[in-house]
Amino acid sequence: MNPVRRGQWASIGGIHHARGDYAAALAIYEQAAPVLAEIGDRASLAKLEANLAVFFLQQGNESQAEAHLRHSIALFDELKLDTDEARLAREMLRLGLEEGWETIGALLNQIPIA
């Protein structure tokens, strides 16, 4: 699978998410994760896990959000990626643990999803 097609998984899930079709968004994200893991695209998987964290935060499921965020950060750290996504994931985890997940969820709900 070429890199462009790999990146489309998160975009397609994000489109469904932005439209409010949460079941479709989650289905796309859940289909993508094992495929990315199987082909060894850990960078795309790290981004997808961060997307899942945001998804679950916006759905009010803090425990799932934290689990996906921790997995995302572990992948970013393992790959030694210091990208905007990696920094955001680390900051979200820090704020979630210090300020509470509801605070982050409320902030995320104010940001339009692209």
Write out pLDDT tens, residues 22-41. 899 899 988 888 988 998 98
The HSE-up count of residue 46 (CA atoms within 13 Å, CB side) is: 21
Instruction: Output the DSSP codes for 53-102.
Output: HHHHHHTT-HHHHHHHHHHHHHHHHHTT---HHHHHHHHHHHHHHHH-HH
Q: What is the pLDDT of residue 54?
A: 83
Is residue 114 in a domain? no
**Is there a domain that residue 85 lies in?**
yes
**Do the domain assignments include residue 97?**
yes
pLDDT band at 114 (very low <50, low <70, confident <90, very high): very low
Mean pLDDT of the chain: 80
Range of the domain at 10: 3-109
Q: Which pLDDT score is estimated for 27? A: 92
CA–CA dist 55, 93 (Å, integer): 14
- Report the domain count for the chain: 1
- Residue 17: give its domain's CATH number: 1.25.40.10
Q: Is residue 67 part of a domain?
A: yes
